[in-house]
Structure 1
C-alpha cells in the first residue's frame, strides 16, 4: 500500500509551555510510522499543549495530539490511506474506512476540534482542510498563524 520511493515532507512537534511556543523537528520515521510519531510526542512532557504536525509528500497533513486517554488525530484527506501507510494507520486508529478509489473529494477524517482550545475553531480548520489549491505545508502554516506559533514554525521549516 505504500508509495514507491522515500516519503518526503516534515514532522514537527509543537509544544506550548508557560505561555511560550516551541517547535522542534521529529525523526523522519514519524512521516511513515504513526506509532513512532505518538511515542516521540509522548516523550515531550509538558504542562501545556503538545502535538505533532506532519506534511507528507505534498499530498496531505496529519495532526497528532496525545491525550491522557489516548490520542486525537486529524487526517486532512482520508483518500491518502489508499497510498500511504501512515494515513491508513490514522484511519485504523479512528476506526474509519478509506474512501473508494474513485472518490475525487477531499474527505478529512478525525477530530476537526483537535486544536480548538489553542485558537483554531473547527469551522476554520475545516476551511483550511478544504483549501485543495494549497500544499500541506501552506495549510499547516495557516494553522500555525491562527494558533500563534507562526514565527517558531517558519524558523524551524527554514532549517529543514
Structure 2
C-alpha cells in the first residue's frame, strides 16, 4: 500500500503568540508518521495558534492543528492515501474512506476551516487546494502569505 522509499519534502511548525509569528522545522519523521507530527506540535506549548505544514514528495500537503479535544486535519488530496501511510493515517483519524484507485479527481479531506481564525477563510483555502497545477510547497507558500507569516516560513525553508 504505502511508499517505502524515503519520502522527500518538509515539515514546518507555525506558532502565533502575542500577535507574532514564529516558524521552525519539525523532524523529518513528521513527513511519514502523523503521530510524530502531532506529538512534536503538542510540545510547542503556546497560548496562541500552533499548527504544522507538511509538504510530502511534491504530491500533497497536510495541515495538522492540535486542539484541546484532539487534532484538526486537512489533507490536500485524499487519493494520496492510496500511496502514503501519513495520508492514510489522516483519513483514518478523519474516519474517511480513501478514493478508488481509478478515481482521478483530486479532493481535500478534513477541515477547510482549519485556519479560518488566522485569516484564511474556508473558500480561499479551498481555491488554493484546488490549484492542482501548483506543487504543495507553492500552495503552502500562498497560505503563509495570506495568513501573514510568509517571511518566517520562507526563512525556515531557506535553511533546509
TM-score range, shorter chain: over 0.9
Inter-partner Cα distance in structure 2 for 1:142 and 1:116: 14
Equivalent residue of 2:63, what SS? strand
C-alpha distance after superposition, 1:22-78 (max 9, x if no partner): 000000000000000000000000000000000000000000000000000000000
Tell me how many residue pairs correspond in the alignment: 160
Q: Which runs of 4+ in 1 moved over 6 A?
A: none
Equivalent residue of 1:10, what SS? strand
Inter-partner Cα distance in structure 2 for 1:3 and 1:32: 9
- Which residue matches 1:57? 57
Unaligned runs of 5+ in 1: none
Aligned Cα root-mean-square deviation (Å)? 0.5
- Which residue matches 1:20? 20
Offset at residue 110 of structure 1 (A): 0.1
Offset at residue 107 of structure 1 (A): 1.0
Offset at residue 2 of structure 1 (A): 1.7
C-alpha distance after superposition, 1:103-140 (max 9, x if no partner): 11111000000000000000000000000000000000
Unaligned runs of 5+ in 2: none
Inter-partner Cα distance in structure 1 for 2:8 and 2:155: 19
Inter-partner Cα distance in structure 1 for 2:75 and 2:41: 17
Offset at residue 4 of structure 1 (A): 4.1
The TM-score with structure 1 as length reference comes to 0.99
The TM-score with structure 2 as length reference comes to 0.99
Equivalent residue of 1:65, what SS? strand
